[in-house]
Structure 1
Amino acid sequence: MKIKPTKRTYESDDIVVVWQPSLCMHSEKCWRGLPDVFQRDAKPWVNTDGADDKRIKEQVDMCPSRALSAYWKNQEAENSFEHADITHIEVSKNGPLIVKGKIKISDSEGNTEIKERNTALCRCGASNNKPFCDGTHNKIDFKG
């Protein structure tokens, strides 16, 4: 079962935090790193009043799957990423492949999707959102 792509936004006076649950690999870096902002059991779960905007942006930029992103309201979301010439692939211990940079993904039916910054690709084979990681590797105790 594929997760329906959705986007939710949370705003303060100066920053917009964007959450795309279908990309989330549940690394827990958000709520472990800034629990006053990312409150996993609250609704809404992002509280932009929980820290200053600069600190929120710093934490969001640590999201390995880019399920969380943020941009300043005085900038367009598309321009918030500095394009790099080199795409990097990082193998996470017991987790996904993290592709850092701009990539184009094509599926077997000919559909294509452009991804920027960080993209977490499933390495365990058990994701319900292939080719993207959904954190299932933690549930199945994937080692690799």
Structure 2
Amino acid sequence: MEEQRKITKKYSNGEVTIVWQPHLCVHSTICFRGLPNVFDPRKRPWVTPEHAESETIMKQIDACPSGALSYLKETNEDEDVEVSNETIVEATKNGPLLVYGNISIKDHAGNFIKKNKVTALCRCGASDNKPFCDGSHTKINFEG
């Protein structure tokens, strides 16, 4: 498989900046099913944060299973967000392992990556972004 470019796009309403990293997206559709007036993949730009209150947007982004969508509060620059509850691992039907909570992942080169909220880990073996899910399970019709 061809390696996907790692780009980052930002969309702001002046209070919150939505950060989108398409290479992390697992195409769960949670964003646009939950808040279609802000997230509409049929439009350009597909993210329009001026169409909802910042708290509503942040709550919807918190449901993103891959971390492809995140946000920065304009008033709290560079503030790390940490989840203070236990870590939970959920195997999704025909999809990734979802890990809820704070985790540290050691990559193949020995580097540690800190993740919080929800992290999607590849379960099908086809991801080009291992150990993270990149949505390849849908392309190969993974069942499990």
Does the pair score TM above 0.5?
yes
Task: Read off the aligned partner of 1:126 and give its amino acid letter.
Answer: A
Contact 2:84 2:101 in 1 (8 A): yes
Is the aligned partner of 1:124 residue 2:121?
Answer: no
Matches within 5 A, 1:1-144: 1-79=2-80, 81-84=81-84, 86-144=86-144
Residue 98 of structure 1 and its aligned partner are, at CA, apart by 0.8
Task: Read off the aligned partner of 1:118 and give its amino acid letter.
Answer: V
| C-alpha separation in 2, matches of 1:131 and 1:36 | 32
| C-alpha separation in 1, matches of 2:116 and 2:107 | 17
The 1:7/1:36 distance shift into structure 2, 3 A limit, reads same
Residue 5 of structure 1 and its aligned partner are, at CA, apart by 3.0
Identity %: 48
TM-score by length of 1: 0.87
| Structure 1 residue runs without a partner (length 5+) | none
TM-score by length of 2: 0.87
Residue 11 of structure 1 and its aligned partner are, at CA, apart by 0.4
What CA RMSD, in Å, does the superposition of the two structures yield over aligned residues?
A: 1.8
Contact 2:82 2:102 in 1 (8 A): no
The 1:82/1:102 distance shift into structure 2, 3 A limit, reads closer
Residue 36 of structure 1 and its aligned partner are, at CA, apart by 1.5
